[in-house]
Structure 1
Amino acid sequence: MLKKLLLKYAVPIRSYTFDLMIGFRMHTIMRLGIMTLLALLSAKQLSAQNNPDTLTTRQLEQVTVTAQKQTENLQDVPVSVTSFGAMEIQNLRLWNNEGLSGFAPNLYAAHSGDGRTVMGIRGIATTSYDPAVVTYIDGVLQFGLDTYFNTLLDVERIEVLRGPQGTLYGRNAMGGVINIITQQPTNTTKGFVGVDIGNYGLQRYSAGIKTPLVKDKLFLGVSGLWENHDGFFTNDFDGSKFDRRRALMGNYYLRYLATNRLAFTLNLKHNNNRNFGAFPLAGSIEQALENPFRVNQNAVTRMVDDVFNVSLSAEYTAENYTLTSQTAFQSNYRIYEEPIDGDFSPLDIVSIVNNFGREWNRVKVWTQEIRLASVRKPETKISWHTGVFGFLQDDPVRQGIYFGENADLFGSPFTDFTQITTNVGNNYGMAWFGQGTYHLDPKWDVTFGLRFDYESRELTANQEVIFGSNPPILTQGDTTGKASFNAFSPKVILSRNLAENRLLFLSYSRGFRAGGITQLSSDPGEIPLLGFDPEFSDNFELGFKSDWMDNRLRWNASLFYTLVSDVQVPILILPDAIVVTTNEGSLISKGVESELTGLIGKKTMLSWNVGFTDARFTNLNLGGEGNGEDLSGNRQLFTPDFTSSLIAQYQTDISSEKNLSLIARAEWIWIGNTYYDLANTLKQDPYHLVNSRIALRKDKLELALWARNMLDTKYVNFAYNFGAAHLGNPATFGLSARFDF
């Protein structure tokens, strides 16, 4: 009987009293921070009133978002949204999705080294290949962890929507949505060239151009990125650099205005990654922290990870409505060219084989959405949109486990053999959705939304064993599992404009994460092709948005309370690295969020985003897991109990005549207690990260020096519950240059 190691991505919860009258108790630093910023702003404003020479009309910019699939002012949207514009993305050095961690309240993102980012918002964390936080790029659903783009290139805006967004965004938007919009071509020719170099052999070269090919008719946009990194880890097995990485990414647009009402957009993206050490894992959290950035693995290979995404959109705008169609295709080919270490040790115990040709391990997804929306007009009482969505998924997975000469340490009675498991998935789904807002009067709005999803899944699997160079022996013939399920996702929002630039809203929304069928594993004790049901949540939220002091201070805050039922608990079967999922228990997540941004004088900006989450299982008993104990009351995985980001930015003109300015920026990120196993024994204590950036900007040229994790804090940002742990990045620094034209 092979030894199996289990991974559970869920944690029990004990409940505590929640007083609806006073809400949540904010941490002392939150109250002090708000009072300090208000005092600074008030003092500065009083000084300006007493000294007319210092009066300024500087205000916070209006932020435009498409969170509800229509263009709106951020402060008018009754949804908790954090928006990062192009300049903020550049200042934050957001080069991938993982970089968002901590900057939006209650958002946590990490990965085990292979580039697949695990995201969680408000205690709803990704636990399988079906994410809990869905990503959209230019309106295209990034279907799963295999097919989405992690690297960010030429981005105009990133919107982080917190809380269930299933009505408009569909499957797996239970924790929220990361909505990414890249720069698109217009009648104006513009472009950029960027170079980033840093320690650990970092080289990053990017460029792009957008131009009209035929003015007012045909437009082209092209951008590309090449990145090289020597890696952070050293392999003690042979003394080599372990996690060297190369990446090539492209984003291409072609937009055609057929008439003044009809437009077509063709968008193609690709991301080709090569990783020479995809899983730089230590054996335990203690080993990772005591001997940082060192591994000891005997089987090293290059991971090929090719992602491709193409979409065709058509938009017709009439006087009173807009009709939009979007057809998209995504694929991901991900293999290890040679067997990769499966035991993370220098011994020849097990290694993973999956290089069986391009017809295997290449996930393909087709999606189609048709949406009809009203054109918003000041005199209309009702605004609405409705539509249909469908998908087809082809998921052929073939993977082998090679048992080497030390396989007896893993409990294997034999050595020098390979067990090959084939799982072929064919899935499809369809949905209808609709949402409308009724403007009761100038102060009151009520929004109703509803979505119905139906999905069907089919998985066919077989298994064979090969001893040495002998012919394969069939141990499990073709067997097929089928499952189908449906879900309703309603939403109700009541919002009131208390005064100019003051919005209060109360909402209820239902979230849903898709169900499915678990793959066949090598463990004979596991039931093959076991189906599991969708996961559902009920989310209640009270939010407040406001601008103060002539739009020099912006404060948005929210309270949330989420109940999750039929929680999907994945179990990692090793050495297969196959996840068996079952529905177990229930979860409650509750918390508070605050986003505060203020301008102090003409030159300084302060921003503080903070979130507190208490996410615990109210019921979780896995019948023997966790030493047979009832794990109810434990905390959710990959969910810090608080996140905080404090940013100060100072900008001043060095020479007005030469149009030369200086921008200095400091960032302090504080991440709270984070757990990685059901028993809450694997834990990362609170840690701090300090970043800085100083830039000189002249006209359209910018030169910047930057540093990340300046204090070189050692911390674990991902761990499996069998002990293997991955460290967050060490101190990095570099120089960036960018020219816009």
Structure 2
Amino acid sequence: MSGHKAIVTALLSASGIALAFPAAAQESQASQPPQADPGSGLGDIVVTARKREESLQNVPVAITAFGGEALREKNIDTFYDVPLHTPGLTVRTASAERSGADFFIRGQGSTYGSGPGVVSYFSDVPAFGSLLGNNIQFYDLASVQVLKGPQGTLFGRSTTGGAVLIEPARPTADFGGFVEVKAGNYDMREVTGALNVPLVGDVLMLRVAGNIVRRDGFTISSTTGQKLDDRRRESYRVGLLFRPSESFENYTLFYGEHINENASGSVLLEFNDTSIAQFAAPSNLVIAGFCANPAVAIAANCAGTAAIRAARLDALHAALNAEEARIKGGGSIRQTPTAYQDFLRGSSQVLQNTTTIRPGEVPVLGDLMIKNIFATGRTIKAASTREIGGSPLPHGQPINGQELIGGVPTITNRSGTTKFFDHFTEEVQLGGGSPTVDWLVGYFVEVDKNPLSFPPIFPAFNNAFSIPLDALAYQGQLVLNQKDIDRGLFGQATVKLDSLIGGLSVTAGYRKSKSTRRSFNAPAVVTPTGVVPGVVVPGVGLKEKVSSYNFSVDYRAASNLLLYAATRKGYKPGGVNPPPAEPIPGALTSFRPEILKDVELGAKYDWESGVVSGRTNIALYKQWYSDIQRNQILINPNPPFGTVTQVANIARASIKGLELENVIQVGRRLTFTLNYSFTDAKYTRYPGTTTDILGNVIPNVEAPYVGTPKHQGTLGIRFLAVESDNVGNVSISGDLYRQSRVWLDDQALQDPEQVGKQKAWSNLNLRLDWNNAGGTGIDAGLFARNVTKNVHLLGVGNLINNLGVITGIYSEPRTWGIELRYKFGS
């Protein structure tokens, strides 16, 4: 039996046993939802998916949630750890950099350069993305919640896939805190701390937290010796909570991060020297063609440099062939050539303020709540030089956030710095509650202004075609006075119909969104003192309106069983296409939003039979995905008969699946976790064809569905070996995750070798905890991640038709370490 089939069989068998255990016994219990013993691991999990605190088991939405201690016990330290414990969620690298993580939920994510299908929130605010990636760090957190299915009728942005809600620990009225240190292989050192101080009792409270991490890289540059994939960053948070009365609360949060790392190691997966003209013919003929234009010949000094340029192409060709042969011959993927000293560097900061007013009971409206959430962020000298070409020579090295001064890439305040209030979000909520109705209406706006944005500097082909020789140039134009505005007006209400049918509730929500885009473009003119814009022309504008909705019915069939059915509509925003150099039939200036509609059926069940208790949650869904944004190739009917790639709404897909989460507690000491998801995603309409690098013509509808493994499962066990006030609590835990194959390459049809298809893989994590060791208040832990040294791809960059290469970023190797935490105060 194959690995994933075995895990599926085990999970379904276990869940079937779980569901069969205690149905009859539970019907006779009291009407209140069960409150498990705090030591059992099945205590009430509080979530905020509906913008109010309530039990996970009372919410008619598929949610996976982790508290602060659960994150520690499960070794969840980064975004890449969350899918190992969350059925239906996957993550891949974005932009050839580990710091950028693209979430996929139920087949919805960021593909073909489109926007995200899943939005991350930190303290109720959509995460501000930047060149540095997502600056959310997994320390001193209260919870992480993964909401599955379309969102947007209750808060923030609208999404098609779901949302990841991350809540930091808030200030409290008790003095206390902790200090934690970690050390491990690859010279890993990490220090985390938090201090909570009630400045004025329970009126004014302060919490300060910080994290410093150092770790050597595990991918070595074979040309420079640089250790890529290292970690070197410092981050901090300061939270101030002012609560002069029960009716007023103001929470201010300021957090930031500084990064100074060597960027990610990108490994060559495939080189094809017949797919592009620069390698398909002898180099002297290629350069002769390049110099055939008299104007080019003069500007490039072809008379004096033609032989040098041809030699450059030959050297690159040989280097790529040699590296491909090394990798395909079994060479280490923890080694890769690089052309530069790579880096990811800069700082980011975010300021948030949340004000909540509770006037109390208001006739008709109920227990009224008014909330305002404001946030703004900035970056400071954020810049990077990274590799996506797998070459020891200049070929596919995006240089971002840097200004060419005298032809030299330089980090300046113009190139990598943004200001507070240029990018901000504002959200106003008005809600109320009564024994029969809970309701909320709100308005969300996000404004992103950028007076000047630099395109990447992009050396390629060993600078054989640069004018003059070895001169660096920008890929694309400057973007000036960009202003993007997204607005949403939303509302949702839940009506409890106990007077008609006990335990029955109906929820309805609606959102109306409006987006506008405006910018100007200009060529970048490089001067000895910096870059100045050339002739400024208006960019393509965009105005769009779209709606989304949510309707659900939930029924508490018994005190321990919730049944629900929901149907929703979500969307992913549209965008603009860069205009072609000359008019081409069929060219589109913009593309519309993607639309997703779904139906979901679910059950949430807490049960008990003798010394065995458990929690079983299941969701089944069907999705109809339309107006999918995909690349479309247009052919210029006029000389020189080139092609243009644009984004168009040309595809449709059907997605169906199942998600199952089980926790089984045997007595107080033994806990099993059994999770599984099945996702079946396929295109139902995708017109056109793709010609691969061998000349085969393939219908687009045969394209694999990216980022979505059919099977995922986790088997977990935790055993409390010792429970003593004098000795402490000693526990042993382990989690085995396995998933079936997954496609990571958006342009997979171009590649007959299918190097963008990652085979099925497994990950085993182990942990030993000794909490309150010897009654000292010190918590000690030993951990090991990826115990079996599994190697799999996290992301793939396909540039086979542009640079002749496909590269990938691989998973982390086995890591292990020790951690000590001392908690003080209350």
Q: TM-score, normalised by structure 1?
A: 0.87
Greater shift after overlay, 235-244 or 217-226? 235-244
Return the offset for 1:602.
2.1
Tell me the equivalent position of 1:419: 473
Tell me the equivalent position of 1:5: none
Tell me the equivalent position of 2:118: 133
- Distance in 2 (alpha carbons) for counterparts of 1:352 and 1:525: 29
- Distance in 1 (alpha carbons) for counterparts of 2:526 and 2:689: 35
- Distance in 2 (alpha carbons) for counterparts of 1:277 and 1:523: 38
Amino acid in structure 2 at the alignment position of 1:718: G
- Distance in 2 (alpha carbons) for counterparts of 1:119 and 1:81: 15
Tell me the equivalent position of 2:732: 664
The SS at the match of 1:328 is strand
Tell me the equivalent position of 2:42: 60
Amino acid in structure 2 at the alignment position of 1:591: G
The SS at the match of 2:392 is coil
* 1:101–1:109 Cα contact (<8 Å) kept: yes
- Distance in 2 (alpha carbons) for counterparts of 1:325 and 1:501: 36
- Distance in 2 (alpha carbons) for counterparts of 1:438 and 1:311: 32
User: Superposed, which structure 2 residues align to 1:237-636 within 5 Å?
Assistant: 237-284=223-270, 287=327, 290-319=331-360, 320-333=367-380, 335-336=382-383, 340-341=386-387, 343-349=389-395, 351-353=397-399, 354-356=401-403, 357-362=412-417, 364-375=422-433, 377=434, 380-395=435-450, 396-401=452-457, 403=459, 406-408=462-464, 415-420=469-474, 421-424=477-480, 425-441=482-498, 442-464=502-524, 477-518=536-577, 530-549=589-608, 552-569=613-630, 581-624=647-690, 626=692, 627-636=696-705
- Distance in 2 (alpha carbons) for counterparts of 1:472 and 1:439: 62
* 1:707–1:731 Cα contact (<8 Å) kept: yes
Tell me the equivalent position of 1:160: 146
Q: Deviations over 1:117-142 (max 9, x none)?
A: 01100111123473211111111111
Matched, 1:142 2:130: no
Shift of the 502–482 alpha-carbon distance from structure 1 to 2, 3 Å rule, reads: same
* 2:153–2:510 Cα contact (<8 Å) kept: yes
* 2:572–2:595 Cα contact (<8 Å) kept: yes
Return the offset for 1:340.
4.4
Identity %: 23
Amino acid in structure 2 at the alignment position of 1:485: E
Greater shift after overlay, 495-504 or 137-146? 137-146
- 1:123 counterpart (103, 107, 125): 107
- Distance in 1 (alpha carbons) for counterparts of 2:230 and 2:62: 38
- Distance in 2 (alpha carbons) for counterparts of 1:511 and 1:447: 16
The SS at the match of 2:457 is strand
Shift of the 728–40 alpha-carbon distance from structure 1 to 2, 3 Å rule, reads: farther
The SS at the match of 2:15 is helix
Q: Deviations over 1:76-124 (max 9, x none)?
A: 0000001101111011121122211231111001324340001100111
Return the offset for 1:730.
0.8
Greater shift after overlay, 624-633 or 182-191? 624-633
Amino acid in structure 1 at the alignment position of 2:721: T
| Structure index of larger Rg | 2
Return the offset for 1:525.
9.5
Shift of the 170–628 alpha-carbon distance from structure 1 to 2, 3 Å rule, reads: farther
Tell me the equivalent position of 2:276: none
Aligned-CA RMSD value: 3.2
| Count of aligned pairs | 693
Amino acid in structure 1 at the alignment position of 2:251: T
- Distance in 2 (alpha carbons) for counterparts of 1:480 and 1:271: 33
Tell me the equivalent position of 2:160: 174
- Distance in 2 (alpha carbons) for counterparts of 1:264 and 1:660: 39
Amino acid in structure 2 at the alignment position of 1:139: D
* 1:513–1:536 Cα contact (<8 Å) kept: yes
- Distance in 2 (alpha carbons) for counterparts of 1:740 and 1:629: 61
Shift of the 26–662 alpha-carbon distance from structure 1 to 2, 3 Å rule, reads: closer
Return the offset for 1:587.
1.5
Tell me the equivalent position of 1:711: 788
Shift of the 150–530 alpha-carbon distance from structure 1 to 2, 3 Å rule, reads: farther
For CA contacts below 8 A with separation 6 or more, give which structure has more relative contact order.
Answer: 1
* 1:117–1:150 Cα contact (<8 Å) kept: no
- Distance in 2 (alpha carbons) for counterparts of 1:343 and 1:521: 26
Tell me the equivalent position of 2:31: none
The SS at the match of 1:360 is helix
Amino acid in structure 2 at the alignment position of 1:641: K
Q: Deviations over 1:211-260 (max 9, x none)?
A: 21001211101000001111110100123322333111111111112333
Matched, 1:693 2:752: no
Tell me the equivalent position of 1:736: 819
The SS at the match of 1:721 is strand
Greater shift after overlay, 319-328 or 278-287? 278-287
Amino acid in structure 2 at the alignment position of 1:650: F
The SS at the match of 2:713 is strand
- 1:216 counterpart (202, 209, 229): 202
* 2:8–2:676 Cα contact (<8 Å) kept: no
Return the offset for 1:406.
2.3
* 2:540–2:578 Cα contact (<8 Å) kept: no
* 1:615–1:636 Cα contact (<8 Å) kept: yes
Return the offset for 1:461.
1.6
* 1:188–1:212 Cα contact (<8 Å) kept: yes
- Distance in 1 (alpha carbons) for counterparts of 2:119 and 2:39: 39
The SS at the match of 2:264 is coil
Tell me the equivalent position of 2:409: none
Amino acid in structure 1 at the alignment position of 2:814: A
- Distance in 1 (alpha carbons) for counterparts of 2:7 and 2:764: 23
* 1:148–1:307 Cα contact (<8 Å) kept: no
Tell me the equivalent position of 1:10: none
Amino acid in structure 2 at the alignment position of 1:31: L
Shift of the 466–344 alpha-carbon distance from structure 1 to 2, 3 Å rule, reads: farther
Greater shift after overlay, 626-635 or 364-373? 626-635
User: Superposed, which structure 2 residues align to 1:69-108 within 5 Å?
Assistant: 69-108=51-90
- Distance in 1 (alpha carbons) for counterparts of 2:577 and 2:817: 44
- Distance in 2 (alpha carbons) for counterparts of 1:601 and 1:586: 49
Q: Deviations over 1:545-592 (max 9, x none)?
A: 1011168210000111111111122699xxxxx996432311111111
- Distance in 1 (alpha carbons) for counterparts of 2:729 and 2:190: 25
Amino acid in structure 2 at the alignment position of 1:457: R
> Structure 2: 5+ residue runs without aligned partners?
1-5, 27-36, 272-323, 361-366, 404-411, 634-643, 800-805
Shift of the 129–56 alpha-carbon distance from structure 1 to 2, 3 Å rule, reads: closer
Q: Deviations over 1:53-80 (max 9, x none)?
A: xx99957211111011111110000000
- Distance in 2 (alpha carbons) for counterparts of 1:133 and 1:479: 31
Q: TM-score, normalised by structure 2?
A: 0.78
The SS at the match of 2:523 is strand
Amino acid in structure 2 at the alignment position of 1:415: L
Shift of the 526–711 alpha-carbon distance from structure 1 to 2, 3 Å rule, reads: farther
The SS at the match of 1:34 is helix
The SS at the match of 1:616 is strand
Amino acid in structure 1 at the alignment position of 2:148: R
